[in-house]
Amino acid sequence: MMVKCHSLSLLVMLLLGNAVWGSILEVCPSCSIKSIKEAVAAASDFDTILIKKGVYKEFNILLNKPLTLLGEGLPLIDGEDQGEVITITADQVTVDGLKIINVGTSYTTDFAAIRVIKSKDFLIQNMVLEKLFFGIYLEKAQNGRIYHNQIFGDAEEEFNSGNGIHLWYCQNIEVDRNMVQKVRDGIYLEFSDNINIKNNISTNNVRYGLHFMFSNNDVYENNTFENNGSGVAVMFSKKIKMRNNNFRKNWGTNSYGLLLKEINDAEIFGNVFEENSVGITIEGSNRLQYDNNDFINNGWAVKVKGACYENVFRNNNFLYNSFDLSYNSKLNDNIFDHNFWSGYTGYDLDKNGIGDVPYRPVKLFSYIVNRTPETIILLRSLFMDIIDFSEKVSPIFTPDQLFDASPLMKRFK
């Protein structure tokens, strides 16, 4: 395994265009260089510092020249809760195969296991971070890659915990195949554009699995967000592409798979929302495309709050949700078309695969529950079925323009 990682990291170094091939400095408890700091001081640009298996009690390691920090057999750096462990300020730095524990916690400074400040072309991979405050903190960084790291926090509350992977004013970063657990936000983006987040698994985090603030033109795909405070929050951002992600088991009061708040022109394709209290909560978001998503066994598949215009839901599967859709107003400017609804009871006489009567996804009961939340206890009672039926026949409380005129008869594949 380690051999493979090494060859991979060497390959990556080559790909990064590291033309100047430096020498290798070995660090180990019995070597002539016993600490990483010593090695960094002794190294020249583009050298590789090979850290052998062992325990290194160090913090505030500053990488201010283009170096490669390569661990062999997962050496352990114990920060002893003193503060930040590794800080990168130079370009073209690689950190690979280290385990960092005991990052200092502070209410005034955001200490991180690894902080990258204004650097370019960095690579952070195969790291294991535990007992941390912030994990990997990127600050005004560009063109980097965060690959195959494992971050295991022990966060209980929001106010005294940090984020797993934190991006602030960053550009062109790839976050790939990381695993983040039990921190505040698994992955957090603020003012960060052109970020590609893929194949990550973000679970059991206190707040969000993934959190966007004021970030544009980002893509996240093939990630899994499970059992977080809420899955993913996308706020005040534009042109985000969300594809093939899994949002699962985000349960609880005000909990959702995906929150879309004040975002415009996003694409939401091929995602699976399963067993969340709310699949997607949408607030003040416009011109969003929802295509080919599966909403399975959620409390509410989609909850629309506030003004949302020109959202288009097409070819989605709504399967066995307690409620398919909830609206808190009678206005509707969104389009539902060609979706499959498991609650659809219509027929298809002309056999074209499209139901002959429209489907109304907003139930009167969902309107009542919005008004008086305690009434949720009457879910699936015969009485509610009866009044839902009467509302279906002649809509009074629910938006009468809101229906899927061409509901699919079979699940969209």
Structural contact between residues 120 and 141, judged by C-beta atoms closer than 8 angstroms: yes
Tokens of 83: 């503060």
Region 139-198 residues binding other proteins, contact defined as CB under 8 A? none
Q: How far is the CB of 254 from other proteins (least distance, A)?
A: 7
* The residue to which tokens 């097409």 are assigned: 314
Structural contact between residues 215 and 237, judged by C-beta atoms closer than 8 angstroms: yes
Q: How far is the CB of 385 from other proteins (least distance, A)?
A: 7
Stretch that binds other proteins, among 67-75, 122-130, 202-210, 370-378 (CB under 8 A): 370-378
AA identity, residue 347: Y
Residue among 142 and 298 whose Cβ is closer to other proteins: 298
Q: How far is the CB of 231 from other proteins (least distance, A)?
A: 12
Structural contact between residues 316 and 294, judged by C-beta atoms closer than 8 angstroms: yes
- Give the three-class secondary structure for 234: strand
Residue among 33 and 408 whose Cβ is closer to other proteins: 408
* The residue to which tokens 């416009």 are assigned: 286
Binder of other proteins out of 246, 289, 315, 322 (CB under 8 A): 322
Q: Buried (b) or exposed (e) across 144-169, using 16+ Cβ within 10 A? A: bbbbbbbbbbebeeeeebbbbbbbbb
Total of residues contacting other proteins (CB under 8 A): 34
Write down how long the chain is. 413
Residue among 4 and 380 whose Cβ is closer to other proteins: 380
Binder of other proteins out of 232, 278, 308, 362 (CB under 8 A): 278
x/- mask, other proteins, residues 214-253, rule CB under 8 A, reads -------------------------------------xxx
Binder of other proteins out of 297, 315, 370, 406 (CB under 8 A): 297
Q: How far apart are CA 181 and CA 173, in angstroms?
A: 21
Residue among 44 and 254 whose Cβ is closer to other proteins: 254
Residue among 9 and 250 whose Cβ is closer to other proteins: 250
Q: How far is the CB of 62 from other proteins (least distance, A)?
A: 46
Interface with other proteins, residue 23, by CB under 8 A: no
Binder of other proteins out of 7, 44, 254, 328 (CB under 8 A): 254
Stretch that binds other proteins, among 174-182, 190-198, 224-232, 296-304 (CB under 8 A): 296-304
Region 35-64 residues binding other proteins, contact defined as CB under 8 A? none
Residue among 323 and 336 whose Cβ is closer to other proteins: 323
Residue among 200 and 276 whose Cβ is closer to other proteins: 276
Please compute, for residue 367, the number of CA atoms within 13 A of its CA located in the half-sphere on the CB side.
Answer: 18
User: What is the DSSP code string of 181-217?
Assistant: ESSS-SEEEES-BS-EEES-EEES-SSEEEEEES-BS
Residue among 188 and 365 whose Cβ is closer to other proteins: 365
In the sheet that holds 112-117, the strands lie side by side as 61-63, 86-88, 112-117, 134-139, 165-168, 187-190, 208-213, 230-235, 258-261, 278-283, 300-305, 323-327
**E strand or H helix at 26, and its extent?**
strand 24-27
Is the C-alpha dihedral spanning 143, 148, 149, 152 positive or negative? Answer: positive
DSSP summary character for residue 110: -
Structural contact between residues 326 and 300, judged by C-beta atoms closer than 8 angstroms: yes
Stretch that binds other proteins, among 16-24, 144-152, 188-196, 380-388 (CB under 8 A): 380-388
Interface with other proteins, residue 277, by CB under 8 A: yes
Stretch that binds other proteins, among 40-48, 74-82, 295-303, 349-357 (CB under 8 A): 295-303
Residues lying near other proteins in the complex (CB under 8 A): 251-255, 275-278, 297-300, 320, 322-323, 342, 368, 371-386
